[in-house]
């Protein structure tokens, strides 16, 4: 899989960008703040319908514009598809596939697969559980795009059930209507069981790739292991050695209904939903101990990078090799980690890299350089792409 062409309109600092791309390695060169990362962010958004930098769409729309547009021609196994996405300020986003309107933006999911590694990924190890849940859910959706609808339905039910818990908890008389909660319990358990099934399956499938990737990056370090952490699922369902079964979804739904009923009094007292995948975590272990709070800076970087490389290997094994996006990461890595990452990049079908100077990119990658600069004053700068055939990445 590779992106043959990319176009941006009013996306971040880019008023307009139209660029032809090729398989192999391309490096966007330019000073910090010139808009290099915005290009990778746009491709990542087309792939996951989410930014790796912000949780809302408003910052993605250039100041003064009403909407931003991202378009890409994606080639997979000799077949080309065009996908376009319009981000609207104060209105619903819209998408097209081969210039035909899609009913929902999530219909473009699965056309483009990307794996993006950026400095922000250190939060996968050191950040809150929400960072790791998002990693799991975006990767699971890349493997099975229809999970986007399940995630959306789960979030909707969770909001409505939480609102009911707050109302019932404040008003004793409303407890006569708590039978409504039983209905919402059923909806929550149904959607949550699907999401949990795929999260558990993903952790099981990802674990060997993670162990291999971390060993290649830090062979002298303790072994890296991942698991799924949940306060309400029985230990037998969380056993990392257990192969996920076809009956998991029914069992998970039954467990969720039982635990929701048991937690109802506490939920009414606190006005929050205490049971469900929104409270779980991806467990990261080094040598049997938690990585968060105990891993060194180098070990944390290696773990974060290993998670992304494991995701790349897992998606590659599904038959559609993802586009690898590397945002200014080589400058953060020591020689061994740079060499290990360069070996993966050299074998990938398409890699887009950002760097401030050519020296930040390993010479063996032989990357095609594209120069990025800005024009205008600092408050209204516009990014520009300048093809520089004479520039060499050495």
Over its C-alpha atoms, the chain yields an Rg (Å, rounded) of: 22
DSSP H/E element including 301: helix 297-316
Beta strand 100-101 pairing with 24-29: unpaired
Beta strand 323-327 pairing with 289-290: unpaired
β-pair partners for 353: 27, 326
Q: Is 33 annotated as a binding residue?
A: yes
Distance CA 99, CA 81 (A): 10
Q: Is 288 annotated as a binding residue?
A: no
Sign of CA pseudo-dihedral 288, 293, 298, 303: positive
Q: Quote the longest CA-to-CA distance of the chain.
A: 76
Q: Is 31 annotated as a binding residue?
A: yes
Q: Is 387 annotated as a binding residue?
A: no
Q: Is 110 annotated as a binding residue?
A: no
Using the CB atoms, write b or e for 7-35: b if 16+ within 10 Å. Answer: bbbbbbbbbebeeebeeebbbbbbeeebb
What are the residues whose beta carbons fall under 8 Å from the beta carbon of 389, sequence distance 6 or more?
none
Q: Is 227 annotated as a binding residue?
A: no
Q: Is 30 annotated as a binding residue?
A: yes
Q: Is 266 annotated as a binding residue?
A: no
Distance CA 83, CA 98 (A): 6
Of residues 33, 53, 45, the one with CA closest to residue 71: 45
Q: Which residues are annotated as a binding site?
A: 30-37
Q: Which residues are annotated as a binding site for ATP?
A: 30-37
């Amino acid at each position: 899989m590779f992106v043959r062409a990319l176009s941006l309109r009013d996306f971040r600092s880019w008023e307009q960008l139209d660029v032809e791309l090729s398989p192999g390695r391309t490096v966007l060169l330019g000073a910090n703040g010139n808009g290099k990362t915005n290009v990778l962010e746009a491709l990542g958004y087309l792939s996951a319908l989410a930014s790796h930098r912000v949780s809302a769409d408003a910052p993605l729309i250039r100041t003064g514009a009403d909407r931003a547009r991202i378009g890409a021609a994606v080639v997979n196994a000799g077949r080309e598809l065009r996908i376009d996405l319009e981000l609207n300020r104060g209105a619903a986003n819209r998408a097209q596939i081969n210039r035909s309107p899609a009913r929902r933006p999530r219909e473009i999911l699965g056309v483009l697969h990307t794996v993006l590694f950026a400095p922000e990924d250190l939060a996968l190890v050191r950040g809150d559980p929400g960072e790791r849940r998002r990693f799991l859910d975006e990767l699971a959706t890349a493997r099975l795009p229809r999970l986007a609808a399940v995630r959306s339905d789960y979030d909707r039910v969770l909001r409505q059930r939480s609102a009911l818990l707050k109302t019932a908890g404040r008003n004793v008389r409303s407890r006569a209507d708590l039978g409504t909660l039983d209905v919402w319990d059923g909806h929550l358990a149904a959607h949550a069981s699907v999401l949990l099934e795929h999260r558990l399956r993903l952790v099981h499938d990802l674990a060997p790739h993670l162990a291999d990737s971390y060993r290649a990056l830090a062979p002298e370090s303790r072994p890296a292991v991942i698991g799924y952490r949940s306060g309400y699922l029985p230990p037998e369902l969380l056993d990392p050695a257990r192969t996920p079964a076809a009956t998991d979804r029914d069992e998970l739904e039954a467990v969720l209904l039982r635990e929701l009923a048991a937690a109802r009094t506490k939920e009414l007292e606190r006005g929050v939903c205490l049971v469900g995948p929104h409270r779980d975590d991806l467990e990261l272990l080094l040598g049997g101990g938690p990585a968060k709070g105990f891993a060194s800076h180098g070990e944390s970087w290696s773990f974060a990078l290993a998670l992304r490389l494991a995701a790349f290997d897992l998606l590659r094994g599904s038959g559609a090799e993802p586009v690898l996006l590397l945002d200014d990461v080589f400058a953060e890595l020591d020689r061994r980690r740079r060499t290990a990452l360069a070996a993966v990049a050299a074998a990938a079908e398409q890699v887009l890299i950002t760097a401030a100077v050519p020296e930040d990119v390993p010479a063996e990658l032989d990357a095609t350089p594209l120069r990025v600069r800005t024009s205008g004053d600092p408050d209204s700068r516009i990014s520009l792409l300048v093809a520089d055939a004479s520039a060499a990445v050495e």
